[in-house]
Structure 1
């Protein structure tokens, strides 16, 4: 299923996989890739150390697995994230 993804789609999936508040179910909904396929894609696309760091970060993380989330978490993205601007995180101003 990964074969028909454009380079832009792959980049977006990697971004979503790194985001703490984006569950795997959101990636599956948007791109049709279940968690196991996302893991394979990440392993294929990232350098070994980056993949190990990402894997360690997401294993068991409540926010990456919708069924483990608290009932109050209903969003897929961070509040600091801009609206539809290539998904770049906005800088916080103090």
Structure 2
């Protein structure tokens, strides 16, 4: 079993819901990690979450491929939310 350093993806989770909750818990998530869990459209999920009012920081960078254990040759999408971004989102949800 791979250690993706992320919360466990449960069969009852939707892909959008899993990514949203992972970001709200303060984790960084990238394309390579997602592919290991069967999530092949992280770019689309991030775009949808941004439309729903989440302020998500996106970077393209080389990361460790969790399957091979080596740095990727090409940049991949990495997404995360800062503490301030998470607090702002939570406050927006409370006031809605």
Range class of TM-score, shorter chain:
0.3 to 0.5
Where relative contact order (Cα < 8 A, 6+ residues apart) is larger, the structure is: 2
Q: Larger % of helix: which?
A: 1
Q: Larger % of strand: which?
A: 2
TM-score (norm 1): 0.37
